[in-house]
Every structure is written in C-alpha cells, then in structure tokens.
Chains A and B, each alone.
Chain A
Amino acid sequence: MATIEAHSLRKVFGTTVAVDNVDLRIEEGRILGIIGPNGAGKTTMLNAILGLTAYQGELKVLGRDPWAERDQLMRDVSFIADVAVLPRWIRVSDLLDYVEGVHPRFERAKAESFLAKTEIKHGSKVRQLSKGMVAQLHLALVMAIDAKLLVLDEPTLGLDILYRKQFYDSLLNDYFDGKRTIIVTTHQVEEVQDVLTDLMFINHGRIVLECSMEEFESRYVELMVHPDHLAGARSLKPINERQLFGRSVLLFDQVDRNQLAALGDVRTPTIADLFVAVMTNSQKPESTQ
C-alpha cells in the first residue's frame, strides 16, 4: 500500500484553483521534497493530505480518508505545519505531559533525551524560548512520535543556518529509518538536496516535475560551455541557459554526459538550478513516472 495515493485531487478557493487534478502516489520509505513558488498550491496539497482542508477527488493517506478521519489518522501521521504553532502560553513540561497523555505512540524518553541536548528548560514557557528553540522543541515532540508519515511544511522558515543544519541532521540520523515517509516543502532548496530521495516541482496547482534523486542525477547535466563550443552546445537543445561570470551555463535533460564533457565543464545541477529552469520555461519538461 502506498503511503499516499491521490486521484484527480482538486481544491478550489473561489475562482482560484489551488490544486488542479493532481494524481499522486508516494511510496513508503521515501523522503519527498515538494518545491514550488509561493502560491503554487504546496500548502493546500499538504493540508488536504493532513485532513485540514476539504477537497474534491480521491485521496487516501495510509488507507484513510484524511478529511473524515483526521483524529484517527494523526496516530500515524505527524506534521509541523509551520514554525511557531506551538501555543505560546504552555510550559514545556506541561506540553510533554499533554502529548504523552493524548498520543498513544509518543515515547516521552525520546523527547526528553533530545531536549537534553538543547538549552530548553522544562520550566520555561514556549513564549520565553527563541524561535530556534521552539523549532527544536517541536522537532523533539515529533521525533518522539512513532509515526508512519511526517509532513514538514517550511519547518525551518526564519531559523538561522545552525538550527537549519541541525534540524535536518537530527531528522536523518535520529528519525528516518527507511520505513517512514517524510514530505518536506521548503524554499531553502540547497539544504535538502542531500536529504531527499524524491523530488517534486509544482506550479499553479499542478505537478510539473516528478523524479527520484537518482533519476535527477542521471538525467540532468549542467554545462559551463567553452565559448568556442557555444553554438554546438545550443544545438543539443538545452532546457535552460544562463550567464555566469561572462560564460554561458546550459542545462540539459537526458543528453549524454560524455558528449557534453567535450564542450566544457559538466556537473550535476543543483535542485535550485533545475527549479529556476523549469519554472522560467514556458514549455514544461515531460514528467516521468
């Protein structure tokens, strides 16, 4: 059974189509990055998956209908919808008591040991913690829950680089075990590049690119072309061209790497490079299944 399966998932706000007939299948054990410009429909799609918004079409998360069975689903799903949604009035120790009280799969010792590595005090209220500490606290709670699916919507927004690095390190080293599924959206694409197993770009409520990271690395090549070979390189139909230090950088999709190496310096593009290329292109690259 796939962790998430959607057919013709659609969500309309007034005249705005936030999610436009999306078909989706996310298997167990994947770490999927959903990348898209602001207003692309990322959060709406995630909200549908989390049972926070009603939708049209068919959607099953861990075999359940999230809109009808949110409370049941949340035994197996954790999410950090945004930084700073922890109630500001609550005391850290009370928060631990509460989550332990209501969540059958919360292992308090795990949360405690994670918190012991931070400067968060049990007697503090959330409002007394810095933004980074609140994120650490939320992550400590989420990591102590034995969930099958973890959804992170901009989990590190507004945090400094140390916290962000530590956040993803903890997630990979202490949480991900190959069986859980993690979905993350972020604008800080470069930080998740080494974390992801799968990549999805969405724009205007549609999936415009969907591939595994292995596929990404074998398919896409970036060439910093030697000026003498520019015309030759252009004839190979790059999907994007940009200027860097006065030289042309061309991005290719499914063009032989050895052939390109003769024309200049080749490297695997960053997700950000591909994202910019795909979003600025009027013609979308074919998505692979």
Chain B
Amino acid sequence: MNAKIDNKPTFYWSVKRELWENKSIYFAPAIVAAVILFGALISAGHLPERRRNAMLLDEMRRRAAIELPYDIVAMVLIVTAFIVGLFYCLDALHGERRDRSILFWKSLPVSDRTSVLSKASIPLLVLPPIIFAIAVVTQFILLLISSAVLLPSGLAGTTWANFNLLRESVVLLYSISVIALWHAPIYGWALLISGIARRATFLWAVIPPFVIAIFEKITFNTNYISSLLKNRLFGAGDTAFDFQMHRSISVDLGQLTLGRFLATPGLWIGLIFAVAFIFAAIRLRRYRGPI
C-alpha cells in the first residue's frame, strides 16, 4: 500500500531528472524548428510570387503546394524526435555507469524498474507531446509569417482557405503517436544495448542487425532481415495511412487508418519485443555498476 503511494513521485522525479540531464530532448527540436523558421523568413520575399504560381494549379495541387512547408516542418521534427530518442536511449543506461553516478542513484530508494521505465518513457511518452507542441507552434508562426508577407499582395486569404491548422494538428498528433509505437522496439533495443555495452553503444546497437542482414544476403541470397529492418524503420505509414487516395503528401482525416494500423501484426510483435527488451534492461541494471 505504502509502496504504491510512494512509487508515483519516484517515477515523476525520475522522469524530471532525465529532462534535467538531457536538455537535448527539448532543445534539439526547438533549435531545428528555429532554423526552419529562420529559413522561412529569409525566403519570404519569394512567397507572393510562388503563391501566385500555386494559385494557377488545380485545387488539389494548389492545396498540396500551400501545405508543403507545414508538412516539411512536421516531417523534419518527427525525424528529429527519432534521432533524439534513439541517441537518448543509447546513452541512458551507459552514461550513469560511465560517470559512476549509478552508485549514487542506487543509494536512493528508487527501484531498477522505476529507473528503467522512466528512461523508456522519454522516447515513448515524453518526446511525442514535446514534438507535437513544438511542431504546432512552429506551424502557427509559419502561418503568421506567410500571412504577414502575403497581406500586401492580397493573397493572405489563400493560405487560410487552403490550410487548416486544426486538421494538420490532428494528423500530426496521430502520426507522432503511431510512429512512436512503431519505433518502440528500436528504443527498447537501444536501451538494452546501453545497459550492456561498455563502450560504443551506437555501434553495438547498429552493427549486429546489419551484419546479420549481410550474412543472410550472402548465404541465402534473400532479404528478409533487411526488409524487416527497413519496415521497422520506415514502415509505420504503410498501414497507418491510406496513401492510395491521392498522390500528394498532404493527408486528409479520412486517410488515417487507425483500425488497419492496430490490426497489423507487426505493431504488436514490435511491442512485444519492446516490452521484452525493456524488461531485460530492468533485470540487467541490478547487476550493473560503474565501468
């Protein structure tokens, strides 16, 4: 009973601790967003001309052209989140052994389970809302910049007529959540390797799957492993979105196929692997000391 009451703040403080240590979790996406906005400001001079050209296109292409910068913001930030999450996980259980601080963390009444789960929650629960918030704010600022630049030429209304920030936000939230779930085993794997490897966690995480794929190709001349890896990296969209409806990259709410995504065996197999990796990392941390 008591333990249950006490566990909650322990988890809360453990997550907070991760955010203190790893400021890149919010700084990296914020800097990427700032760079995008800076680029948008610099190229703003050409915007009226580009918009006039876009208005000549048919409706669907026009919408795609107008939405493109916003989609780029979303995609670049999602990729940033993946890179930040991956490198965070690769260091999470390694850094504390490297700087010997594991001896301090273990001197406190915080279980290995709470420690590892708080670390696993960073890419799965903490990064997604951070990325979502930064992306929405960036898109909103982009919207303001574009409106202000287009106002003198009387084209400001064309953005608002063709771009719906609310719809974009729903698509974004959906994409970020789906991709985080799809990538869960990758984060789990990185976390486990960071608890095992004495050094070069990135190499230990990346090279074995790579070597196995090459071995398979050379020995059997098949590509199961490499296509599996490729699917795990880039395959979230295959079932989560219906890209058949039209060819542009802008997405309507009707294209979000959550049911089909949830029915994908790959999702659940991936999640089972994620749970197994995280569980192994928890068990392993008991045996771990400074390196």
Contact = CB atoms under 8 A, between A and B. Distances in A.
A14 interface: no
A102 B108 contact: yes
A86 B104 contact: yes
B22 to A, nearest CB: 9
Interface stretch (A30-38, A76-84, A173-181, A238-246): A76-84
Contacts of B17: 94, 98
B201 interface: no
B20 A94 contact: yes
B227 to A, nearest CB: 41
Contacts of A90: 20-21
Nearest to B6: A104
Contacts, number: 81
A22 interface: no
A102 B14 contact: yes
Interface in A58-98: 67, 70-75, 78-82, 84-91, 94, 97-98
B16 interface: yes
A254 to B, nearest CB: 40
B19 to A, nearest CB: 10
B177 interface: no
B103 interface: yes
Contacts of B13: 97-98, 101-102
Interface residues of A, number: 35
A52 B106 contact: yes
- Contact size class for B? 20 to 34
6 contacts: A50-B106, A98-B16, A101-B10, A102-B13, A103-B108, A103-B109
Interface string B97-137: 00111111011111110100000000000000000000000
A81 B290 CA distance: 11
A75 B109 CA distance: 5
A102 B107 contact: no
A99 interface: yes
B103 A82 contact: yes
Contacts of B96: 87
Interface in B192-223: none
Interface string A122-143: 0000000000000000100000
Chain A contact residues, majority secondary structure: loop
Given A82-B100, A91-B20, A71 B111 contact: yes
Given A54-B287, A74-B106, A89-B20, 10 more contacts: A71-B109, A74-B109, A80-B107, A81-B104, A82-B103, A85-B103, A86-B104, A98-B17, A102-B13, A104-B109
B289 interface: yes
B265 interface: no
Contacts of B14: 102
A87 B103 CA distance: 10
B100 to A, nearest CB: 5
Most chain B C-beta atoms within 10 Å of own C-beta, residue among A50, A54, A104: A104
Contact of A85 (B12, B20, B101): B101
B9 interface: yes
Nearest to B22: A89
A84 B101 CA distance: 8
A47 B107 CA distance: 11
A80 B103 CA distance: 8
A79 B110 contact: no
A80 B108 CA distance: 11
Contact of B100 (A47, A67, A84, A91): A84
A245 B17 CA distance: 58
Contacts of B100: 82, 84-85
A101 B10 CA distance: 7
Nearest to B113: A71
A51 B110 CA distance: 13
Nearest to B289: A52
Contacts of B104: 81, 85-87, 138
Contacts of A52: 103, 106, 289
A188 B227 CA distance: 61
A98 B20 CA distance: 11
B79 to A, nearest CB: 26
Interface in B205-250: none
Nearest to A84: B100
Contacts of B6: 104
A50 B103 CA distance: 10
